Amino acid sequence: MTDTTAVDAAVDTAPDTRPTKIMYVAEATAHGGRDGYVTSQDGHIQLKVAMPPELGGNGDGTNPEQLFAAGYSSCFHNALILVGNRAGYDLTGSTVAAKVGIGPNKHRGYGLAVALSVSLPVLDREVATELVDAAHEVCPYSNATRGNIDVTILLG
């Protein structure tokens, strides 16, 4: 017989990061996979997609990893600004850069790894670290990837 108490306790302490209300839905369509193009429903995105040379392509277009890096960096930066403003800090001049790597995993598929480089030039390191940690809890990309991919945050 299995002791479910420990399992129930672990489930009860895991944070539930699912939205309680959907406030916005983005919609995009891929045509041709990694060698095609992507569009958004509202027409703001119309991009050629191509495999990077490192993956055997010609690199003549953007790729899903660049798009993920752009989305994650802008979302994390917004979360950082939000928690900074709530704490009364001015984050003028701050930036977040993302690197997204792709490679084979142990299950015959592919996985991602992310490195976020955060620059908070007007804050001391202790305050900057606290804000980055708080932003990592707030950011929807961080919540979606937590436990699924390696995310490294570098504070510069």
List 40's β-bridge partners, or say none. Answer: 28
3-state DSSP assignment of residue 92? coil
Q: What is the pLDDT of residues 63-79, one digit of tens each?
A: 999 999 999 999 999 99
Supply the pTM of this predicted model.
0.88
Nearest in space to 120 (alpha carbons), one of 90, 153, 141, 88: 90
Give the β-pairing of 28-31 and 46-49.
unpaired
Q: What is the pLDDT of residues 87-126, one digit of tens each?
A: 999 999 999 999 999 999 999 999 999 999 999 999 999 9
Q: Which domains does the chain have, with CATH numbers?
A: 1-62 (2.20.25.10), 63-156 (3.30.300.20)
CA pair distance 8, 85, nearest whole angstrom: 37
Question: Which pLDDT score is estimated for 2?
Answer: 47
CA pair distance 39, 42, nearest whole angstrom: 8
Q: Tokens 């900057």 — which residue?
A: 128
